Structure 1
């Protein structure tokens, strides 16, 4: 069963009230905070809607999907199952036969030896602690639709290994127009522990599996001017991009590393043999990363999708504009 909720708010009265709300929002780390409804309710500016379909939430713009979020662990983590270009072309693939644990756009690492990337009996589960919180913000002249979710990373015995406050903010912006997603994870040591350590394979981090039609004929390029897997894999850069055809139509997708992230510029994993994949990582295979109970870490990444074959200059401009936003999350 599907439920669709639409926003019909109009007018610009009450400017003083909204100014005060905006100031309070900035104190909370938001540019402008409006609403804040648990579960399902109004979303975004007029023309936006949030559709619930089973265990998934679909953000729509003027009736067309922008993003599909898998809210419930499927089977072991929530993730972005689909992400659409402005023209409505999806670039993400969920649980392909060759790697069933690859889920669209997903975030996972190993915590104190427990693998949250894999889906075998010894791996962990990212478990929601409540319903998704939906909010609306305004930043950089654009309206952002925001989904926020609290997660506990549990080992197979049910012990809490890590706590995460996740937020996904999505908009359509820029010239040429891009679908722009801001993924943020605030990671905390659970009660009763003094620290935790992240480890993992070269691709552990925020990883993206592309639709099958993008597996061949594509091209990677990064902020350092390097191209191909040979130039971008295991390289450090503030962003990395991939251009290929999906459904016969050229697309360009770029992932941005926030300048304030630990170990910026990020280390990247790219591959195009067998299938195409891209991850932004903390380089955990070479150097484990520890966080203390009194020092949670904030990770923020951007994902931009354009129709057509994009140039490095276009990606760099979008990255600079995104990284300069006060708090698009």
Structure 2
């Protein structure tokens, strides 16, 4: 298994993974095959670079409402994500948030819940199963209601405990940057039952840079039409994507889901008029999900970015390959 991970780095704690040879260091950079993980303890960020380009920036400092992916860029292209714009300060690049037992973890204006890190992320870097450079960030988060946000022990007052794993792979031959977002959940000490609900956009949300507003193109796995033409569309599909050509650049960002693995249908919320947005959801606005004490559940999505307009046929083939590696 040592072809999978060659170095592992922990911030502040020594963590061993049963994956062969492991190198431990506090806050040190790690590199494999041109992919470098650069933790910045003073800024509460983790940067991932491929060769001489920053392709991902993860914001995870203490005091945030939620950790999130602040930047994600295709190979040779610019960052595609927008963070905390004046129109929606709670929009943060790529983020995951829902409502839990009536506590809203998405919006941040009125009594918002907080995803409080147990500590900085642990990161590892090496070669993935397909022989491509791969970096993994893992962080434990306590989902705490607003009323207990300042508690000295956030774990004791958590509704949910999440183990978040972000796996970034680079396939240079196909000009692909792939980010798998997985959250493994269990009920926290403060809950004997949780009800997951929210608006029709609560889930894994992506806010795009201003150049994509009103002019980008949405598409989906089933070639379904967008009835409101970008004002507020919700469609059930296996994947959804946004493509755009602007200022000499081209790019595609796609979000893939695995409906058979997660409860609830996979619905994609999309906007274009006003601003460009895409969310992958479990339809919690129509059918909330309930879990009792002892239950474990997860969400899993794959975000793909390319420095070109990728075809529907390619994305469909890529989706099948993800389902059946």
Q: TM-score, normalised by structure 1?
A: 0.84
Q: Which runs of 5+ in 1 are unaligned?
A: 1-16, 23-29
| 1:225 aligned counterpart, secondary structure | coil
Residue number in structure 1 paired with 2:30 = 43
How do residues 104-143 of structure 1 correspond to structure 2 at under 5 angstroms?
Answer: 104-136=93-125, 138-143=128-133
Q: Does the aligned pair in 1 maintain the 2:65–2:114 contact within 8 Å?
A: yes
Measure the CA separation in 2 of the matches of 1:303 and 1:50: 19
Residue equivalent to 1:9: none
Aligned-residue RMSD, C-alpha: 2.6
Q: 1:307 offset after TM fit, Å? A: 1.1
Structure 2: runs of 5+ lacking an equivalent? 7-16, 149-156
Shift of the alpha carbon at 1:211? 0.2
1:101-250 superposed matches below 5 A: 101-136=90-125, 138-158=128-148, 159-173=157-171, 175-191=173-189, 193-228=191-226, 230=228, 233-245=233-245, 247-250=247-250
Q: Could you tell me which residue of structure 2 aligns to residue 96 of structure 1?
A: 85
Q: Secondary structure at the match of 2:219?
A: strand
TM alignment of 1:42-61, pairs within 5 A: 42-53=29-40, 54-61=43-50
Q: How does 1:49-88 map to 2 (within 5 A)?
A: 49-53=36-40, 54-72=43-61, 75-88=64-77
> 8 Å contact 2:33–2:133 — kept in the other structure?
no
| Aligned position for 1:302 | 302
1:219 CA displacement = 1.0
Q: Structure 1 residues 324, 142: closer, same or farther in 2, change over 3 A?
A: farther
Moved over 6 A (4+): 19-22
Q: Tell me how far 1:97 sits from its aligned partner.
A: 0.8
Once the 2 structures are TM-superposed, how far is the Cα of residue 38 of structure 1 from its aligned partner? 7.0
What is the TM-score with the length of structure 2 in the denominator?
Answer: 0.85
Deviation of the 1:230 alpha carbon: 4.5
Deviation, structure 1 residue 189: 0.5
Distance 1:323 1:85 in 2: 22
1:277 and 2:277 matched: yes
Equivalent residue number for residue 18 of structure 1: 2
Query: Alpha-carbon deviation of 1:141?
Result: 2.8
SS at match of 2:49: strand
Cα distance between partner residues in 1 of 2:229 and 2:23: 43
